[in-house]
Amino acid sequence: MSIYQDHLAKRQAQESAAVELIGFLAKLVANNVRILFFGERISLSVADILTKHANAGLDVADTLALARSLDVADTTIDFGQAIQAGKAAADFTSGQQLPATDVVLYGFGRIGRILARLLMSRPASDKGLQLKAIVVRPAGDDDIAKRASLLERDSVHGWFEGSVEIDAANNGMIVGGRFIKIIHASDPSEIDYTAHGINDAIVIDNTGKWKDEAGLGKHLASKGVAKVLLTAPAKGDIKNVVYGVNHKTIGGDKIVSAASCTTNAITPTLKVLHDEFGIVNGHMETIHAFTNDQNLVDNHHKADRRGRAAPLNMVMTSTGAASAVSKAIPELKGKLSGNAIRVPTPNVSLAILNLNFEKSVGTADELNAFIKTKSQSPQWQEQIDYSDSSEAVSTDFVGSEKVAIFDAKATIASDNRATLYVWYDNEMGYSTQVIRVAEEMAMNA
């Protein structure tokens, strides 16, 4: 057998195993089992299954053997971690069912549409988060058609992998075979969600219009709303939650903030570093993709510098991400400063952390090894990814559902000081964290 035939035979065997595996994974998904592979979602496609196994150096046949023997429901299984640890079917039991929870997206901008994509890309189920409605401001007769098109086509993330149809008769969209009501309103006080069959809903406000309890409390005054989740840093006593770090503090809170994309990106890494080495102080600089609040061409803007053309300039601006970290890690209060530079790219940002520690972090290689171990641990694998490619650039991380990607090749470390570089898809990675926070709120109903 030639080398070509040998590799072909091996590939065919792997593809056959992957096809069979998809059938067993589909049955688990139908039982509300969340399937991961070292913290990443497995799509039910041969290419994705083979790629993930090849990158991890694992055999599809081993995953298939485990999947065949599983009979569980309402739980999460990380097949990568399970195979690596040599776990058997007896090690897994059925978990706690996430109750069916109505969800309303208040606003349908960049984050709103990514949230809709993530929610509607999940297998159809009568359990868990149920996207029932999207609230937008009143617009023209073709408003729903335009919004459906924006959901279906995206210049950054490409085509939505699912069907999007307009249901004009019912003022809504059918996405992936599921109906979503479009509600036109200028203020939460105008809406009675119960009139649309929506009850005890979590409203995810991604407009940024209200950030305090008085403003966000308007949602709670609407019939059919139980809780509110803000996709921006909150003001006052509202908790700023970074999933994986302080999400267990939510409890029965009715209004919660998922903080900012940058706060979510840096907080998990800062948490593992502080727990191990003790952060004395430091500075965070985010090289951030431009956002919709900037101007395409030079024009008046209420904020300093942001009136200058975003596609043509690096724009210095402020960020509250560094100080917001202390809401998730109180021990770091007053220890971090921060600033931001908006750059002419539409997505994926980079946080640079200059830190001083109580203990020595050793060399760059030693610090990288520590972060790599943490990124592969069950506790942090969904938040922190690890890149050791000397060719990696920002577009490589478009679509990453990890909230942070640690760039090992850029690490600078010596004794008690280090400079670390953390990439993040400020749309997709952050939206994934928002959904995790929403699920935690639903569990605390």
Backbone angles phi, psi at 46, to 5 degrees: -60, -45
Active-site residue, selected from the candidate residues 25, 66, 201, 261 = 261
**What one-letter code names the amino acid at 234?**
A
Token pair for 366: 């030693």
261 classed as catalytic: yes
List the structure tokens of 193.
């969600």
Q: How many CB atoms lie within 10 A of CB 104?
A: 27
3-class DSSP string for the chain: CCHHHHHHHHHHHHHHHHHHHHHHHHHHHHCCEEEEECCEECCCCHHHHHHHHHHHCCCHHHHHHHHHHCCCCCEEEEHHHHHHHCCCHHHCCCCCCCCCEEEEEECCCHHHHHHHHHHHCCCCCCCCEEEEEEEECCCCCCHHHHHHHHHHCCCCCCCCCCCEEEEHHHCEEEECCEEEEEEECCCHHHCEHHHHCCCCEEEEECCCCCCCHHHHHHHHCCECEEEEEECCCCCCCCEECCCCCCHHHCCCCCEEECCCHHHHHHHHHHHHHHHHHCEEEEEEEEEEECCCCCCCCCCCCCCCCCCCCCCCCCEEECCCHHHHHHHHCHHHCCCEEEEEEEECCCCCEEEEEEEEECCCCCCHHHHHHHHHHHHCCCCCCCCEEEECCCCCCHHHHCCCCCCEEEEHHHCEEECCEEEEEEEECCCHHHHHHHHHHHHHHHHCC
- How far CA 138 is from CA of 99, 144, 186, in Å, comes to 32, 10, 7
Find all residues with CB under 8 Å of 194, minimum gap 6, and list them: 223, 224
Catalytic residue list: 261
